[in-house]
A = this chain, B = another copy of it.
Amino acid sequence: MRVLAIGAHPDDVELCCGGTLAKFAARGDHVTIMIATNGNVGSPTLTKEEIAAVRKKEAEAAAAVIGADLIWMDYDDEFLFHDRESRMAFINAIRKANPDIMLVHSPNDYHPDHRICSEISIDCRIPVTVPLIVTEYPAMKNVPHVFMYDNVGGIDFQPEIYVDITETFDTKAQMLKCHESQDVWLQHVFGADIVANMVRISSMRGLGPGYKYAEGFRSLPMFPIPGRPHLLP
């Protein structure tokens, strides 16, 4: 199976569904991580170009931890918008990954880039299969199944499906630690530590299903609907 996780910023995917991706990878599925923005405002000290370069390397390192492909869309951090250009760019990138399953932000996520990234991703589900929409990569055969992952703080998000990530928790932590530039930054803006956040969320989400650590997901409630939660590991 082919899996595509789409995040707005470098580290979003790792934080919100990294344990599940590690599980997919461990059982032999092909995983692609696609990142919409280059994170070029995520530093209190570097220039935009410098921090963008740093973050690309961090993202590559994180993907490498589980042997995932990386698609770097390079939009400006905090300024992702949904227009014809970004729609076409996402269609092409998704076709490149050619997934059976897509994991995306939830449309009610807290950050504008998250929300808009979610919207573009979801809106490409069907167009990616349409031959008359011509891009570098060819049209896909099937509409991929879409699952939405949890947000930071688990705010206004009630999971329907819980993935037990106890065994891949260390791998997830390793992926997150690749994003070292963000530890400083998160401390600066929110007073929060990236690995500590990971523990807080995964720990809480595990409480319901009785796992030590879990990640939560919802099926996209839209036609054609993913009737097959079994696809998650």
Contact = CB atoms under 8 A, between A and B. Distances in A.
A220 to B, nearest CB: 9
Give the number of times this chain occurs in the complex, counting copies.
6
B201 A224 contact: no
Given A79-B84, A130-B78, A200-B203, A210 B190 contact: yes
Interface in A130-171: 130-133, 143, 151-156, 158, 160-164
A231 to B, nearest CB: 10
A225 B162 contact: yes
Interface string A22-33: 000000000000
Contacts of A209: 224-228
Contact of A133 (B41, B122, B224): B41
**Most chain B Cβ neighbours within 10 Å, of A40, A112, A133:** A112
Contact of A222 (B41, B110, B199): B110
Contacts of A228: 162, 209
Interface of A: 40-44, 47-48, 51, 78-79, 81-84, 87, 108, 110-112, 122-123, 126-127, 129-133, 143, 151-156, 158, 160-164, 189-192, 197, 199-201, 203-204, 206-211, 214, 218-219, 221-230
Given A79-B84, A210-B224, 18 more contacts: A41-B132, A42-B132, A78-B126, A78-B130, A112-B127, A155-B221, A156-B158, A156-B222, A162-B228, A192-B210, A200-B203, A200-B207, A208-B223, A208-B227, A209-B224, A209-B227, A210-B227, A229-B229
